[in-house]
Amino acid sequence: MDIQLSIRQLTKRYKTGDGVSDITLDVRKGELITLLGPSGCGKTTVLRSIGGFLDPDSGDILIEGKSVLNSPPEKRPTSMVFQGYNLWPHMTVYENLAFGLKIRKKKKAEIEQAVTDVLQLVRLPGAAQKYPSQLSGGQQQRIAVARSLLLKPAVLLLDEPFSALDAKLRHEMREELREIQAQTGLTMVFVTHDQEEALSISDRIVVMNHGHIEQIASPQEIYDEPKSLYVAQFIGKMNFLKGVVVSERVTLGQLSFPNPKQLSGNVSLAVRPEDVNLHDKEGQGLPGTIKQIMVLGHYAEVSVDVQEHGTIRAFQPRDQVKDLQPGQSMKVNFAKALAYPAV
């Protein structure tokens, strides 16, 4: 598949020591890739470097095979959607959208058709004559996305575009962005610190940590096979326990697991709550006592106090926790456990 965007050994360091070092990443044509990580990890630095708003210290950025390092933002085949909507309040939606096309000397009929089409695409066909103040936050952000789409960028850059919206709207906007991408085939680079957002919309996720890339993989792979303890801590809920390697196997109390990484000595075990099995029968398992049961819609989160191993959280089907109660004795087993070198 064609490489639409290629970042090669990009380095940008600030006086504070923050920034990124030696970032290398290829984005395929039509791919939606997400840069994910906490504040200060460097994801926005990478995005702003692609858009031309920052000058890297070293490295190169190629779009459609051509270096864009010496081009200012307005000359790059990119368009950026920011957290804030950046719409001109004194202009109608139509005028906001038409502005960039007028600067590009497009004909009036062509502009009208393009604006009509893009408003249809973002599901706001009747909004052309409204002012930004007459629109909700979600509608304004759709117009901001529409404005970027009109420029037909080779790469669309999105910097936490939905972070100011409430949870329900954020969810709807993610779905709409995915639909728009499917219809347009646009290449998108999306920045977020929200792991759920990254898991739900991405073709691939780039997990960043202190200016470096920890892992690049599909959402499924990142979730199922986190490459490092950092990625395991950052993506989804996880139980962390202290284990030890005995006779080539990872052990925790009387439980034992394969050791594919051939670790030795003390290890950190990571177990997803959905991989925790609870039973009150005799047999193998870590003995524990139920602390709390929280019903969270179609499933329940059961917290079990497991003596020297601390509290283990388990996700259980809602109908299976009806007979459980705090103080009840339980045995805890794991369907799957990932091991990492102990920190």
What's the pLDDT tens digit per position in 17-31? Answer: 889 999 999 999 999
- Residue 152: what pLDDT? 87
Domains 3-231 and 237-341 share a fold: no
Q: What percent of the chain has pLDDT over 70?
A: 99
What's the mean pLDDT in 85-108? 85
- The H-or-E segment that residue 141 falls in is helix 137-150
Structure token pair of residue 44: 């926005």
What's the confidence (pLDDT) of residue 32? 95
What average pLDDT does range 217-239 have in this prediction?
A: 93
The answer on pLDDT for 228 being more than 90 is yes
C-alpha span between 290 and 278 (Å, rounded):
10
CA distance 291 to 312: 10
Please give the pLDDT value at position 61: 96
Residue 238 confidence (pLDDT) above 80: yes
The pLDDT confidence band at residue 108, using thresholds 50, 70 and 90, is confident
Give the pLDDT confidence score for residue 54 in this predicted structure. 93
- Supply the pLDDT for residue 215: 96
Output the DSSP codes for 5-69. Answer: EEEEEEEEE-TTS-EEEEEEEEEETT-EEEEE-STTSSHHHHHHHHHTSS--SEEEEEETTEE-T
Q: Tens of pLDDT along 299-335? A: 999 999 998 889 999 999 988 888 888 999 999 999 9
pLDDT of the residue at 203:
95
Identify the CA nearest to 47 among candidates 156, 136, 133: 156
Distance between CA atoms of residues 80 and 31, nearest Å: 16
CATH topology of domain 3-231: Rossmann fold (3.40.50)
Average pLDDT over residues 9-16: 91
| Phi, psi for 238 (deg, rounded to 5) | -150, 140
Residue type (1 letter), 109: A
**What is the per-residue pLDDT across 138-169, written as a single tens digit (0 to 9) for each?**
888 888 888 888 888 999 999 988 887 788 88
Q: Over the chain, what is the mean pLDDT?
A: 90
* Residue 319: per-residue pLDDT: 86
CB 293 within 8 A of CB 321: yes
Radius of gyration, alpha carbons of the chain? 25
Instruction: Give the pLDDT band (50/70/90) at residue 281.
Output: confident
pLDDT of residue 1 exceeding 80, the answer is no
Provide the residue ranges of all domains of the chain, joining segments of one domain with +: 3-231, 237-341
Structural domain 237-341, CATH architecture: Beta Barrel (2.40)
What span, in angstroms and rounded, lies between the C-alpha atoms of 108 and 114? Answer: 10
Instruction: Report how far apart, in Å, the C-alpha atoms of 24 and of each of 44, 76, 103, 122, 210 are.
Output: 15, 20, 34, 33, 15
Residue 100 pLDDT level (bands cut at 50, 70, 90)? confident
Q: What is the pLDDT of residues 173-196, one digit of tens each?
A: 888 888 888 888 999 999 999 898
Per-residue model confidence as pLDDT tens digits over 36-80: 998 888 999 999 999 999 999 999 999 999 999 999 998 899 999
Q: Are 148 and 180 in contact (CB under 8 A)?
A: no
Picking from 269, 205, 272, 209, the residue whose alpha carbon sits closest to that of residue 237 is 272
CA–CA distance, 172 with 72 (Å, rounded to integer) = 34
